[in-house]
Structure 1
Amino acid sequence: MNPYLNDFPILKEEHNGKRLVYLDNAATTQKPLSVIRAVDEYYRSSNANPHRGLYELSIRATQMYEDSRAAVREFIHAEKDCEVLFTRNASESLNLVAYSYGLNFMKEGDEIALPVSEHHSNVLPWQMVARAKGAKLVFLYPDKNGRLPQAELDKIGPKTKLVAVAHVSNVLGTVYPVEEIVRRAHKAGAVVVLDCAQSIPHYPVDVKKLDVDFAAFSGHKMLAPMGVGVLYGKEELLNQMPPFLTGGEMIESVSEQDATFAPLPQKFEAGTQNVGGAVGLAAAIDYLKQIGYDTIIKTEEELLSYALDGMAKIPHVTVYGDTRAGEQRCGVISFNVDGVHPHDVSSILDSDGVAIRAGHHCAQPLMQYLGVNATCRASLYFYNTKEDIDIFLASLKKVRGWLGLGD
């Protein structure tokens, strides 16, 4: 029995006439009622443009927005509220760093190091910077278990000026050694941009302990609404960077020919912000605290081990990355079924109410490295159960038979 059903009513829904088994959590998580209610209550009773009005409703909206920022700051252990910038999502956060830091501080001959497994959101911005500045992208390649060998980490060297890395791979589920990467990068005089989109829903992220220079994540992958994200940046770096977007609210003063910009964090938050999304993110943080990361980690490790053990017993199924659960392995399982396109696998599982992902997962360089065009992906969260895994495994066993390929 799922102990969280009352918190996530969507998990009670039927899907193609079957109970929904939602295993696409790496794409987006479902939202608990407490988050939905917090957003609803904001729009019902406190909706106004923040920072711009002196009337009570606007003051209330401003307070809720800034309280949400403080909640994020505490959650990731940033030193100051001004180091927390609200964006639309992790993609926008990473683009902000690329445009405001990369284009202004990188130069010809500099190297940007990144694993080949990165999401396109952490590849394309650096391709843009490299083209514009004459810098070079240096890719780090994982081994068959999805881990980065020491020889690959050794590529972080004197010419490296920026390292962009996902804390957890959205395809392989690998938890990368961020502390070691940061140590090597800072020794080389490079900054580290950490994509936490796949880690922060599952593990605590302490930006001060990790000593990363920037960290990006999306709210919708950690129980919050879509349309709100976060960029953490060290204050001294953010102060040196020009704004990414210009317009309302991010200015100190404007004349016909010139402008001065507001201090942090407003300098990077042009226009009317998604206050409802920020309120929802704060509510999601409260919910995660109530569940506790210890519970999340324990539950997901048990589910991952159970799923991987079951998949190992099914013929013609190939799992990419480490086939064992453990501290360096998150609950993201990419796999293929011999002779069956991933889209067909997804459609067949969908007929049994099982929702998984199929495609290149915005990681085409990794797909090319693995020698495939696409994979299936099942991704777990704490509200999944062993019953969910049993239904998934039973459906997966039937895939080849559906297409007349035998067991």
Structure 2
Amino acid sequence: MLRWAIFLILYLVVDIYGFQALKTVTRNHWVQALYWVVSLLVIGNFVYNYYGFNRSDGFTHRHAFAFGFFIALLVPKMILLIAMLGEDIFRVPQAIYRYFTEGNSAEGNYFASRRQFISKIALGISAIPFASILYGIYKGKYNFKVLKYTLTFEDLPEAFDGYKVTQISDVHSGSFDNVDKVEYAIDLINEQNSDVILFTGDMVNNKADELKPYQKIFSNLKAKDGLYSVLGNHDYGDYVAWESEEAKHQNLEDLKALQREIGFDLLLNESRFIERGGQRLALVGVENWGTGGFKKAGDLQKATKQVEANDFKILMSHDPTHWEKKVKNDDNHYHLTLSGHTHGMQFGIEIPGWFKWSPAKWRYKYWAGMYNEAGRYLNVNRGFGYLAFPGRVGIWPEITVIELKKGTVTA
């Protein structure tokens, strides 16, 4: 209760400062009243949905949108807060000076009036994230992008020169609210005409049943050499309060069965070989392994029992911290590792080829895109779906297409 009281007091302070900017710009009482009506509705809906909320009870669309609209208002108001506080840096000392120098002889309020142009600039700037977040909720979460890479390896078997891999990750099917958009994305994947489709974990948020409304759509995925998948941290059902361990175990088994019915060959610390012209490529799939309290079920040694040292290897591992801590320095040379997990935090700014930023970089060293260290590549897919915040801003849902080429690698 105390925590909520502190939260509401802080939010009220932010709200009051935001209103100061609006009041400086317009004296229209209807506009001012609308500000408070919208603010009270959003914060009321947020409190209603999250008071007593326990993540283990499940996260619904209702929770997601309550959180999304709360963020849509909070971020712009924080910008207004900073602007108004910045102005108060000058207004408060000036008011104190007038109080002690002019006393009762001062004309009017000790505080100087807020300057309208500062409020207008602050409102204009705050409108940008407000509109961006609303766009992210309405359209951004289905703004699928196909990102293409060409990687050259000297030891790639000649039979696989030009081999195309499509990677998707972090479907989080329980978050979807538009079947047609998901169907469009599956068609977009198939249009890439890749040789193999690899899925790197988190098919659901928590429960296998989340996948059932989309099972038929995902069953339309097609690739010459098949579909392969691994598990992500959300697939194990660890974030739900199950009535028993048996129920939790059955949920995981149901999810495995659903993936296999779709057509995925689920790799549980296992490997497979794709053969062409007497040559082969090794696909290695490990269970989830991640730092920061995430499940560490991945076992590279077990997964590579059948793999030889000179095999060309593609590793599927959901969490990129596995590559950072274990894979890139492993004696086995994993040519290409495919991960996901971070979602790029579903928020950031990207100018392809020039600039890339997201708060995700404060948590993950490798958080989105292609990385190359010592001839070992890691691709961190930004995710196909979304989680918690019901949208994406600047970090769009991703379908990765990687073409493997044989050739001389220059330093």
Identify, as 1 or 2, the structure richer in helix.
2
* TM-score, length-scaled by structure 1: 0.25
* TM-score, length-scaled by structure 2: 0.25
